[in-house]
Amino acid sequence: MDMRRIRQNLFGEWFRIGRAFPPEVLEAVTRLVAEGEGKHRGELRVAIESRLPLSAVVQGVTARDRAAMLFAHLRVWDTEENCGVLLYVLLAEHRIEIVVDRGIAKRVTASEWESITAHMRDEFAAGRFREGLLTGVTEAGALLATHYAGDGSSRENQLPDRPLVL
């Protein structure tokens, strides 16, 4: 049993979620996701979770596991071109995970996604949560526009643009 993870999820800074990501930040992210999806064929979904339930931590569920669960539960995988991307933030453990569907995984390398998480982590570590999240969304959108460019035609929005806060 990982006592450090238990302490983080019970007593960590997870309670700061409203201060780290107030409504105006969530609105800015919503706009950025929508703008980005006008330039590429990907579908970006943002999920921010304050902490994991104690039972999940005890069972050994990692941030990556939780992101994969949300990827499935939110049906990010269920897009027309297999073009879904989940950007997941677990505040209590200071973790950022990006899960991508198979269509995008064929075109974008893991190191490109890792670069985005590193930039976000740097901003978060400096207490700049707004900038970190906006950086992640902007960079993910740019990466999708590079590797999964749109053709300028209007298309159906298959996933909500607004971040999900859990």
Question: What pLDDT score was predicted for residue 72?
Answer: 96
- Give the chain's domain count: 1
Cβ–Cβ contacts within 10 Å for residue 119, how many?
A: 17
More confident residue, 162 or 80: 162
Question: What pLDDT score was predicted for residue 90?
Answer: 94
Domain membership of residue 129 as a residue range: 3-165
Work out the pLDDT band at 20, boundaries 50, 70, 90: confident
CATH of the domain at 61: 3.10.310.50
- Distance between the two ends of the chain, CA-based, in angstroms? 24
Instruction: List, for residues 56-108, the tens digit of each pLDDT value.
Output: 888 999 999 999 999 999 999 988 889 899 999 999 898 999 999 999 999 99
Instruction: List, for residues 121-143, the tens digit of each pLDDT value.
Output: 999 999 999 999 999 999 999 99
- Relative orientation angle of helices 129-147 and 110-125, to the nearest 10 degrees: 160
